[in-house]
Amino acid sequence: MKAYTQYLWFNTEKRQEFINITPQVEEAVRESGVQEGLCLVNAMHITASVFINDDESGLHQDFMEWVEGLAPYGRDYTHNLTGEDNADSHLKRTLMGREVVVAITRGRLDLGPWEQIFYGEFDGKRRKRVLIKVIGE
């Protein structure tokens, strides 16, 4: 069995942002040489997310409005009493998910027709990383 690890680093200009990372994940799979296996893509920070969905700007705006409605910025969260101001970001990450696992078939990500992999940032403007772990034969 082969194993391959790569990290992606992000430092977004906006506090909240979605970034399509499918091309970087596809490249990692190619570099791994794995033909049949699994690819884990994992946000390595507690205020960021990795998720799979359609790359459509209206849908992304809907997601941002949805998570903001459920966990609005600036509210008096207990976590923020510690001196932080990012409790909403922790909650948004929980809503959007921590990681995805995608099958690798014949050396390629086995995604559905509209599926793309996204990095979701909810407390940006600082350096964070995403783990790509590829395992298989």
In DSSP terms, which residues pair with 62 in a beta bridge? none
Mean pLDDT of 93-115: 98
Q: What are residue 62's phi and psi, to 5 degrees?
A: -60, -45
pLDDT of residue 21: 98
Highest-scoring range by mean pLDDT, 74-78, 81-85, 105-109: 105-109
Confidence of residue 35 (pLDDT cuts 50, 70, 90): very high
- Spell out the domains of the chain, with CATH numbers in brackets: 2-136 (2.60.120.460)
Query: CA angle at residue 43 from 16 to 13, to 5 degrees?
Result: 30
pTM of the model: 0.96
